[in-house]
Amino acid sequence: MRKIVLILAATLVGVSLSACNTIAGAGKDIERAGESIQGAARK
């Protein structure tokens, strides 16, 4: 039983970390899109 809990905890931590990376990447993409829109508006 303890082994199963440890495996599930490790899996949960791995998924959480990968989700953070995905959200951070999406944030950077949105930021770049906003900068592009600002640049186009200035022209």
Q: Does residue 13 lie within any of the structural domains? A: no
The answer to whether position 11 is within a domain reads no
pLDDT tens-digit map of 2-37: 888 888 888 888 777 677 777 777 788 888 888 888
pLDDT at 18: 74
pLDDT at site 13? 81
Judge whether 33 lies within some domain.
Answer: yes
Q: HEC string of the chain?
A: CHHHHHHHHHHHHHHHHHHHHHHHHHHHHHHHHHHHHHHHHHC
For residue 24, tell me if it sits in a domain: yes
Residue 29 confidence (pLDDT) = 84
| pLDDT for residue 16 | 74
The span from the CA of 28 to the CA of 19, in Å, is: 14
Q: How many CB atoms lie within 10 A of CB 18?
A: 10
Q: Is 28 within a domain? A: yes
Does 29 map to a domain?
Answer: yes
Question: Which structural domain, as residue segments, surrounds residue 36?
Answer: 18-43
Domain tally, the chain:
1
Per-residue pLDDT at 32 = 85
Instruction: Using pLDDT thresholds of 50, 70 and 90, give the confidence band for residue 40.
Output: confident
